[in-house]
């Protein structure tokens, strides 16, 4: 006796067809054939359309029947070359995978003895293919870095039987898996021996008692160099739950390739400013060959002695950035949400107000990180600003104030004071201011020669008459 199909899915609805043929030296005259349905299957029934309904087909007419878990066909007459077909329809298979034999017996005439056949038909109940899940640890790798990835498969609620398989396919930009220990991309498994490697596909075959529901199998892919560019790579997986199953895709996994930390560069312009003078510093960050991922972040720490950075316009320390989202915490300037291709730039503009009065070199510590969970890493070289001593005559300090008059005019006041002691008996110099119509003027100061002569040139607005104020101590 044989059966088709040979397999059935766990807890699935199936129809089994059993075929019995007498041997070449045997006739059945009013004989009988029986089948015992294993526990866990639907009990057989002779009710048409009912689950487990039993029917029979034979050349000379026969009578099917069912009692408990036994199927019987009586009044059976067959000669060699003829067959009996028993259909067991709409049956639900057991919820536990395994091989389920259907014991079969036969007697050739009514008064004969039911005798077991030498070989019984069996049905392999299998877990569904494409079951379980796979995850990748860690889910990220640094661009051009050496990575060790673990592909962790967890069996589903049915487990995986002997002969089942789990596969991983490596993307093209990653090294092909290797079976040689100690080499790049060496691949191994935690259970069932070394995996089989065909091209870029790694296959682990389950043996013995298989994988119980929830049990994990780990495939390790070590010493593999990640791609050089920031990207997200997809690793595909498949699974079959038994040796007679079909490899079926399960949900793929991804690895985010992120630029290595701390490899960008940053410069500042200007790199030299005069002590106690107004300064605007522009810091320019340039992404390295791997670029900067969308979740990238660049930070800049303003040293003490300089104005605290601020988001408030018009205040000393006002800071802006492009592209990205800027935030300020204490003396730390942070730009987030930046996606830069290799060589692209990010600019931070810092209106420092008045530079420190003490000449020295000040370092603005810069760092970056590639994604939100990594720690910031300092750039190889942070930008520095050198504050130099003020140049020009040390005795000259000029204060200029400009405002609009109520009638729409502008008044400009200029005062020039010579430091040190004035000569006794000589009145202080007098400087007059003349109101001019129009917007506040533009002023340039030129030293026309050694002390004691100073000339101040005032241009109220382009095209207007020039006012020259001269002070002479002689």
d(CA 74, CA 46): 14
Domain with CATH 2.60.40.740 in the chain: 265-386
**E strands within 81-195?**
84-92, 98-101, 104-107, 115-116, 122-126, 133-137, 140-142, 146-154, 165-169, 186-189
- At 303 the pLDDT is 96
Q: Cα–Cα distance between 324 and 298 in angstroms, integer?
A: 10
pLDDT on residue 459: 54
- What is the C-alpha separation between 26 and 82, in angstroms, rounded? 11
pLDDT for res 23: 86
Q: In the CATH scheme, what architecture does the domain 265-386 have?
A: Sandwich (2.60)
Q: What span, in angstroms and rounded, lies between the C-alpha atoms of 152 and 73?
A: 51
Q: Check residue 31 and give its pLDDT.
A: 95
| Closest residue by Cα to residue 291 from 233, 353, 370, 409 | 370
Give me the DSSP letters along 393-409. -TTEEEEEEEEE-TTSE
CATH of 133-258, one of 3.40.640.10, 3.30.460.80, 2.60.40.2580, 2.60.40.1510: 2.60.40.1510
Backbone φ and ψ of 387, nearest 5°: -95, 120
73, burial (CB in 10 Å: exposed 0-12, middle 13-18, buried 19+) = buried
DSSP one-letter code for 72: E
| Terminal-residue alpha carbon distance, the chain | 134
Where do you find CATH 2.60.40.1510 in the chain? 133-258
pLDDT confidence of residue 456: 57
CATH 2.60.40.2230 in the chain: give the residue spans: 2-126
Q: Under 8 Å CB-to-CB from 189, ≥6 apart: which residues?
A: 195, 204, 217, 218, 219, 220
Whats the size of the chain, residue-wise? 474
Separation in Å, CA 340 to CA 144, 298, 371, 379: 17, 11, 13, 16
SS3 229: coil
Q: What is the pLDDT along the chain (474 residues), one digit of tens a residue?
A: 999 999 999 999 999 999 999 988 788 999 999 999 999 999 999 999 999 999 999 998 899 999 999 999 999 999 999 999 999 999 999 999 989 999 999 999 999 999 999 999 999 999 999 999 999 999 998 887 888 999 999 999 999 999 999 999 999 999 999 999 999 999 999 999 999 999 999 999 999 999 999 999 999 999 999 987 778 999 999 999 999 899 999 999 999 988 766 678 999 999 999 999 999 999 999 987 667 777 778 999 999 999 999 999 989 999 999 999 999 999 999 999 888 888 899 999 999 999 999 999 999 999 987 666 556 778 889 999 999 997 654 434 333 333 333 333 333 333 333 434 444 555 556 666 555 555 555 455 555 445 554 555 555 555 555 555 555 444
CA dihedral 386, 387, 393, 394 (to 10 degrees): -150
- Rounded-to-integer distance, Cα 443 and Cα 460, Å: 8
d(CA 459, CA 461): 5
Structure tokens at 164: 């089942």
Per the structure block, which two tokens stand in for 72?
């019987």
Separation of alpha carbons 440 and 422, rounded Å: 32
The whole-angstrom separation of Cα 131 and Cα 320 is: 52
Torsions phi, psi of 403, nearest 5? -155, 160
Q: pTM of this prediction?
A: 0.54
**Superfamily grouping for domain 2-126:** Uncharacterised protein YcnI-like PF07987, DUF1775 (2.60.40.2230)
- What's the burial of 187, exposed, middle or buried (CB within 10 Å: 0-12/13-18/19+)? buried
Residue 366 to residue 294: CA distance in whole angstroms: 19
Q: Is residue 110 classed exposed, middle or buried when 0-12, 13-18 and 19+ CB atoms within 10 A define those classes?
A: exposed
């Amino acid at each position: 006796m044989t059966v088709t199909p040979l397999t059935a899915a766990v807890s699935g609805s199936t129809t089994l067809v059993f075929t019995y043929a007498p041997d070449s030296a045997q006739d059945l005259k009013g004989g009988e054939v029986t089948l015992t349905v294993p526990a866990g299957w639907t009990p057989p029934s002779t009710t048409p359309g009912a689950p487990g309904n039993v029917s029979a087909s034979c050349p000379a007419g026969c009578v099917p029947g069912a009692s408990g878990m036994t199927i019987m066909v009586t009044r059976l007459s067959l000669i060699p070359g003829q067959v009996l077909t028993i259909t067991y329809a709409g049956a639900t298979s057991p919820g536990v995978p395994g091989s389920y034999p259907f014991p079969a017996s036969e007697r050739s005439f009514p008064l004969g003895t039911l005798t077991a056949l030498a070989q019984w038909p069996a049905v392999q109940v299998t877990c569904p293919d494409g079951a379980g899940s796979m995850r990748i640890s860690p889910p990220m790798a640094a661009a051009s870095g050496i990575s060790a990835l673990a592909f962790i498969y967890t069996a589903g609620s049915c487990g995986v039987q002997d002969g089942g398989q789990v596969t991983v396919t490596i993307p093209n930009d990653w090294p092909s898996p290797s079976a040689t220990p100690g080499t790049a991309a060496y691949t191994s498994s935690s259970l069932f021996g070394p995996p089989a490697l065909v091209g870029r596909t790694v296959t682990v075959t389950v043996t013995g008692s298989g994988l119980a529901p929830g049990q994990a199998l780990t495939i390790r892919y070590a010493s593999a160099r990640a791609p050089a560019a920031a990207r997200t790579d997809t690793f595909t997986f498949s699974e079959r739950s038994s040796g007679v199953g079909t490899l079926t895709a399960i949900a793929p996994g991804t690895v985010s390739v992120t630029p290595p930390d701390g490899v960008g560069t940053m410069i500042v312009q200007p790199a030299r400013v005069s002590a106690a003078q107004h300064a605007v510093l522009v810091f320019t960050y340039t992404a390295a060959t791997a670029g900067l991922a969308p979740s990238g972040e660049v930070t800049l720490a303003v040293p003490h002695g300089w104005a605290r950075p601020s988001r408030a316009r018009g205040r000393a320390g006002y800071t802006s950035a492009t592209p990205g989202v800027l935030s300020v915490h204490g003396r730390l300037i942070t730009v987030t949400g930046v996606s830069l291709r290799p060589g692209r730039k990010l600019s931070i503009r810092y209106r420092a107000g008045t530079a420190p009065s003490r000449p020295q070199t000040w370092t603005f510590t810069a760092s970056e990180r590639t994604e939100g969970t990594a720690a910031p890493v300092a750039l190889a070289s942070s930008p520095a600003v050198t504050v130099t001593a003020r140049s020009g005559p040390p005795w000259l300090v000029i204060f200029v104030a400009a405002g609009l008059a109520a009638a729409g005019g502008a008044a400009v006041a200029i005062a020039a004071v010579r430091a040190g002691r004035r000569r006794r008996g000589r009145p202080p110099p007098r400087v007059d201011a003349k109101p001019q119509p129009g917007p506040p003027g533009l002023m340039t100061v030129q030293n026309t020669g050694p002390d004691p002569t100073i000339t101040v040139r005032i241009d109220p607005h382009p095209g207007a008459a020039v006012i020259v104020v001269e002070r002479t101590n002689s």
